[in-house]
């Protein structure tokens, strides 16, 4: 009975953290985007508009779920759950600080890659079941895009697995206590980091890779027909996926919750240890999120053929060679 209660509490905690983080991310995005565009961003609800996304959440909860004529209703309703469940499952595996991790498999990184691809199914279903031509095109694009970019994101994470010799996320973070992998892994780790940022960004369906949504072409792509909280699920999952990609990047490359240590400088290392792990983790993650926002609000959108040739002709070969290079580095 006791362990049962523990599971329930854990589940609730993850869901609350998920929702709160999504609200924070939406606010941060709107504010940051506002500054990029010489605007102020939300500033009415609460001081500096901090409650804007809370207000938006309340609004979206109260909205009507529009009934789509001739849509496949079972799949249509199911699709948004696929997307959000995939995202929550990935979220649960993130090591926030020492011991603060819900799922810690010995194949942790493999698990992250596996459940995060569940979202593709949801997106394809959403496009297929909506009975809308725009949604259909969006879903097809998204299928092609996500499956392609999964490869190079997987390969660049494998590079780190080769370096660390383990797939367990807690172990990977632990190994970085002396020096983060991006510094320890020489050139291949830096290349892998860049490749992961690009392909991870593409997996989150955000500009310049937002072809599945492409509001100027497909109105909203696969979620054109969704409304209310069903749309909210897609929206939430999109923001949290951005966070998850950033969190995985910081866990694998930037030492996760480990403070910045420089071998030999004991005084400096001791000072860094005073900052708690969760601050380090969130700090690094939000730094990566900021990079994503910067890209998002600067670049125009790619075309679908350019997007795919970027993956298959540029990123994937680089990642493969890089993996080999890392193996050579490790053997030496």
Partner 1 sequence: MTQLEQLRTAGYDFLIDIVGMDWGPDEGLGVIYYLARSYDVADTISVKAVAEGGRENPSLPSVSSLWDVAQVYEREVHDFFGITFSGNPDLRRLFLRGDWVGFPLRKDYDPSVNHVPHTDETFREMDGEGLFAGDKYVVNFGPQHPAMHGVLHLRVSLDGEIVRRVDPHFGYIHRGVEKMCESYTYPQILHLTDRLDYLSGAIDRHGFCLACEQALQTEAPPRAVVVRTIFDELTRIASHLLGWGSMCMDMGAVTAFIYAMRDREKIMDIFEETAGGRLMVNYSVIGGLASDIHPNFQRRVREFIPYMRKMLREHHLLFTGNPIARGRMHGVGKLSLEKAISLGVTGPAGRASGWVNDLREVAPYAAYGQVEFKQKIRTGGETFDRYIIRLEEIESSLHIIEQLIDNIPDGSYAEKTKAVVRLPEGDFFQRVENARGQFGIHITSKGDKTPYRVKFRSPSMVLVGALKQIAPENKVADLIMLGGSLDYVIPCIDR
Region near partner 1 per CB under 8 A, out of 45-53, 64-72, 191-199, 202-210: 202-210
The two three-digit tokens of residue 241, written as one number: 């996926």
Kindly give, in sequence order, each residue whose CB lies less than 8 Å from that of residue 30, ignoring residues fewer than 6 positions away: 41, 42, 52, 53
Our CA angle for 34, 40, 45, nearest 5°, is 110
The two three-digit tokens of residue 5, written as one number: 């209660």
131 is a site residue for partner 1 (CB under 8 A)? no
Region near partner 1 per CB under 8 A, out of 59-67, 108-116, 166-174, 209-217: 209-217
Cα–Cα distance, 124 to 101 (Å, whole number): 30
Task: State the nearest-atom distance from the C-beta of 195 to partner 1, in Å.
Answer: 17
- By CB under 8 A, name the one of 41, 42, 154, 207 that touches partner 1: 207
Which CB sits closer to partner 1, 36 or 48?
36
Which CB sits closer to partner 1, 39 or 63?
39
Cα–Cα distance, 303 to 217 (Å, whole number): 11
Cα–Cα distance, 86 to 80 (Å, whole number): 10
The two three-digit tokens of residue 114, written as one number: 């596996």
What are the b/e assignments for 128-138, b being 16+ CB within 10 Å?
bbbebebbbbb
- By CB under 8 A, name the one of 218, 246, 292, 293 that touches partner 1: 218
- By CB under 8 A, name the one of 155, 211, 252, 315 that touches partner 1: 211
Which CB sits closer to partner 1, 64 or 305?
305
Kindly compute the dihedral angle of the four CA atoms of residues 240, 245, 248, 249, in this order, to the nearest 10 degrees.
-140
Binding-site string for partner 1 from residue 24 to residue 43, where x marks contact by CB under 8 A and - marks none: ------------xxxx----
- By CB under 8 A, name the one of 47, 264, 267, 300 that touches partner 1: 300
Q: At what angle do helices 228-252 and 186-203 cross, to 10 degrees?
A: 180
Task: Output DSSP code: residue 313.
Answer: I
Residue numbers 81-110 binding partner 1 by CB under 8 A? none
- By CB under 8 A, name the one of 157, 282, 292, 302 that touches partner 1: 302
Binding-site string for partner 1 from residue 132 to residue 151, where x marks contact by CB under 8 A and - marks none: -xx--x---x----------
Which residues in this chain contact partner 1 in the complex, by CB under 8 A? 36-39, 133-134, 137, 141, 207-208, 210-211, 214-219, 297-306
């Amino acid at each position: 009975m006791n362990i049962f209660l523990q599971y329930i509490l854990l589940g609730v905690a993850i869901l609350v953290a998920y929702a709160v983080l999504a609200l924070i991310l939406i606010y941060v995005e709107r504010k940051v985007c506002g500054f990029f565009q010489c605007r102020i961003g939300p500033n009415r609800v609460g001081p500096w508009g901090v409650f804007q996304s809370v207000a938006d959440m309340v609004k979206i909860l109260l909205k009507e779920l529009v009934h789509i004529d001739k849509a496949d209703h079972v799949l249509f309703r199911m699709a948004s759950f696929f997307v959000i469940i995939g995202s929550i499952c990935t979220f649960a595996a993130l090591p926030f600080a020492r011991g603060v991790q819900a799922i810690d498999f010995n194949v942790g990184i493999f698990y992250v890659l596996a459940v995060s691809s569940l979202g593709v199914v949801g997106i394809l279903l959403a496009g297929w079941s909506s009975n809308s031509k725009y949604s259909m095109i969006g879903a097809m694009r998204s299928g092609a895009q996500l499956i392609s970019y999964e490869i190079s994101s997987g390969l660049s994470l494998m590079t780190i697995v080769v370096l660390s010799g383990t797939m367990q996320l807690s172990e990977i973070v632990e190994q970085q206590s002396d020096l983060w992998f991006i510094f320890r892994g020489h050139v291949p780790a830096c290349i892998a980091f860049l490749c992961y940022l690009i392909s991870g960004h593409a997996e989150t369906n955000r500009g310049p890779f937002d072809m599945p949504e492409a509001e100027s072409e497909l109105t909203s792509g696969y979620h054109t027909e969704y409304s209310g909280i069903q749309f909210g699920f897609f929206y939430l999952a999109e923001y949290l996926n951005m966070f998850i990609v950033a969190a995985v990047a910081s866990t694998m490359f930037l030492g996760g919750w480990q403070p910045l240590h420089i071998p030999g400088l004991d005084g400096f290392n001791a000072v860094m240890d005073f900052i708690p792990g969760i601050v380090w983790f969130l700090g690094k993650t939000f730094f990566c999120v900021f990079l994503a926002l910067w890209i998002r609000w600067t670049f125009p959108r790619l075309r679908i053929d350019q997007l795919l040739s970027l993956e298959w002709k540029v990123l994937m070969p680089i990642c493969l060679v890089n993996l080999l290079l890392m193996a050579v580095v490790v053997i030496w």
